[in-house]
Amino acid sequence: MNRRTLLASGLALAVLPLAGGSAHAQDAAKIRDLYSGGVNLSDWALAQVGERVTFEGYMAPPLKANSNFFVLTALPMSVCPFCETEAEWPNNIVAVYSKRVIDVMPFNRKIEVRGRLETGSYRDPDTGFLSLVRIEDATYG
């Protein structure tokens, strides 16, 4: 093995973790995959209930400090899209519940969230936030 071969193989090994990271991002679902028009859930979403899923999106500013909850949005939002009724539920957000207090991320930084998909009307007892779709036991970054 000469120096050129050694350098080329070292470069290939250095690039592998980057390739793995981007392949993982490609596996992430889009929030729009949850819906099939209005607030109706897609067949894909219904098949994933209770399963661990990965989504990519943006962390909306939390409703309160020291929370284990945030809203993942399809587009960056500088304010949280707080909803009052199921009829007004936007189809470009998903509620995310973590086991720990969340570390707030900049609203314009894309993140990946992985957790168990749950559906059905749920009102958070601490914030009053109403969700129709949630990712529970979530990790993110």
pLDDT in tens, 81-119: 554 445 456 778 899 999 899 999 998 999 999 999 999
What local confidence, expressed as pLDDT, does residue 75 receive?
A: 87
What local confidence, expressed as pLDDT, does residue 118 receive?
A: 97
What local confidence, expressed as pLDDT, does residue 91 receive?
A: 74
Q: Are 68 and 109 in contact (CB under 8 A)?
A: no
Q: Which of 109, 24, 121, 113 is closest to 69 using CA atoms? A: 113
Residue type at 77 in one-letter notation = M
What local confidence, expressed as pLDDT, does residue 89 receive?
A: 60
What percent of the chain lies above the pLDDT cut of 70?
Answer: 74
- To the nearest whole number, what is the mean pLDDT of the chain? 77
pLDDT of 19 higher than 80:
no
What local confidence, expressed as pLDDT, does residue 125 receive?
A: 86
Q: What is the pLDDT of residues 32-44, one digit of tens each?
A: 899 887 778 999 9
Q: Are 34 and 45 in contact (CB under 8 A)?
A: yes
Higher local confidence (pLDDT), 77 or 1 = 77
Q: Which of 78, 83, 112, 110 is closest to 96 using CA atoms? A: 112
Domains, the chain, in order of start with CATH, read 30-140 (2.40.50.140)
What local confidence, expressed as pLDDT, does residue 97 receive?
A: 94
